[in-house]
Amino acid sequence: MQLSIYTKNPHARAISHLLAKNPATVYERKVKGHAVRFAYHKMTDDELYASIFVTPDSLALVKDNEAYDITHYINDREFAVSTIFLSLIRSALGTALNGKPKEEYIQYAAMDFPFTFEFGPISSSLSDEEIRGLWEPLGYDVTIDTMADARRARFLTLFNTISLKKALQQIFIIIPVMDDYKHYYIDEAERERLENYGEGWLETHPMREFIYKKALRFKQLLLNEENEQKVDKPSLNTRRYETIARTVTALKPKTVIDMGAGEGKLSILLAQIDSITKLYSVDPSNHALAKMEKRFADHQFATTPIIKWGSLYYEDQEFAGADVFVLCEVIEHIDEERLPQIMQLITQNYMPQHLIITTPNAEYNTVYELTEMRHDDHRFEWDRNQFEAWCKAVAPNYDLHFEGIGSVDEQYGAPTQMCIMTRRDSHAI
């Protein structure tokens, strides 16, 4: 099974950096026992043609109790393009999926290019018309080739002028909708991924309801069409932001730094807190800053956020002495070996009165029945003991308070863990 990417344009070499793969070598990794390879068929100044493909390990398939036995009707393939395929290649395509290449190439992440995507075989009970209905509203020209000896097994060719990030995110949402054999339990983590990858296009798709039903497959997780709210409870993202906002409100700060603010969803809540006179919404992505600016234009604030480019890799004296410094789901996106230097910058140079950190609780992935990390760009995910030990090690001059956020499992705790650090010469929370 494979996914191929082709483009002809003057920025072809820049796109290879979006993919974060060296054209001079073949990328090869073992993922859950299966071989994942990424190779360039052609790489010139104005043309790129590459494929990522998986060679399954038959022993691994047997060990998984035939969970991957989804293509018995295909004679020449052990494995079809499916949710399983996506789970195996997600890490290899993580940089492209998240639009976070090296800084000098970040401008290309949001640019549209003429792409052709080919993938297959895909097993689907959907008709060709239904498949076209999934892709054509997004601007794709669709070609469907059916295997002669397997009517439901098809190869798709898609053409569109689109950013690589958006196209891959659409592929990662729509392939599971087409897949007859969605193999893993769907819970809040999958809903978050659907929200993240679908932002900006899924809410206006004419088959939106069908996509949600096929992608999530559990009624309690579907959107209520009447009021656009979740039927069961707020999403984990919402609960996380609300918990942080309540915590910050109780601290009565004047200056707050929302570092890694992304598109500004948390900053919108923080900007309603009356005590705050200065709120910095900081992110290293110019694309995120532009989306933040657009989002803020639609809101009224007690304190208007200051949108600012910034990174934890560079010191900015404007952040020194802040009352509250927030790292909401940030540290897991940083290589572990770089974290001590970053924490030294925050705790010894900036010296905030309070530092609030949230990160996934890896133990809770068992509740989700996930065998991978929750996000393609995560460098690590810690259990509760690991997180607590790390906090104690990197913040010796701070008192620590730990909380869980989200639905609590008796054995595995909450899906998100939060540490509130208070400098010892500050008032306790």
Q: What confidence score (pLDDT) does residue 225 get?
A: 34
- State how far the Cα of 382 lies from the Cα of 63, in Å rounded to an integer: 27
- State how far the Cα of 261 lies from the Cα of 407, in Å rounded to an integer: 24
Q: What confidence score (pLDDT) does residue 386 get?
A: 97
For residue 28, give the 3-state DSSP assignment: strand
- State how far the Cα of 260 lies from the Cα of 289, in Å rounded to an integer: 10
β-sheet bridge partners, residue 35: 30, 55
- State how far the Cα of 54 lies from the Cα of 38, in Å rounded to an integer: 9
DSSP state of 350: I
Q: What confidence score (pLDDT) does residue 84 get?
A: 75
Count CB neighbours of 404 within 10 A.
18
**pLDDT < 70 stretches in the chain:** 57-80, 147-152, 180-190, 216-233, 376, 426-429
Domains of the chain: 2-184 (3.30.1610.20), 236-423 (3.40.50.150)
Q: What confidence score (pLDDT) does residue 426 get?
A: 66
Residue 64: which residues within 8 A CB-CB, separation 6 or more? none
Q: What confidence score (pLDDT) does residue 275 get?
A: 96
- State how far the Cα of 12 lies from the Cα of 6, in Å rounded to an integer: 9
**119: its two tokens:** 């993938």
Q: What is the CA radius of gyration of the chain?
A: 23
- State how far the Cα of 217 lies from the Cα of 51, in Å rounded to an integer: 30
Q: What confidence score (pLDDT) does residue 31 get?
A: 81
Q: What confidence score (pLDDT) does residue 136 get?
A: 97
- State how far the Cα of 199 lies from the Cα of 153, in Å rounded to an integer: 30
Q: What confidence score (pLDDT) does residue 33 get?
A: 77
β-sheet bridge partners, residue 158: 117, 142
Q: What confidence score (pLDDT) does residue 216 get?
A: 67
Please enumerate, as own/partner, the contacts of 10-16 that have beta carbons within 8 Å and a separation of 24 or more.
Answer: 10/45, 10/46, 11/108, 11/111, 11/113, 12/43, 12/44, 12/45, 12/46, 12/47, 12/48, 13/43, 13/45, 13/48, 14/105, 14/108, 15/48, 15/108, 15/113, 15/164, 16/40, 16/43, 16/48, 16/50
- State how far the Cα of 52 lies from the Cα of 236, in Å rounded to an integer: 32
User: Is residue 255 within 8 Å of residue 278, measured between CB atoms?
Assistant: yes
Its pTM stands at 0.56
Q: What confidence score (pLDDT) does residue 134 get?
A: 96
Q: What confidence score (pLDDT) does residue 249 get?
A: 97
- State how far the Cα of 66 lies from the Cα of 48, in Å rounded to an integer: 37
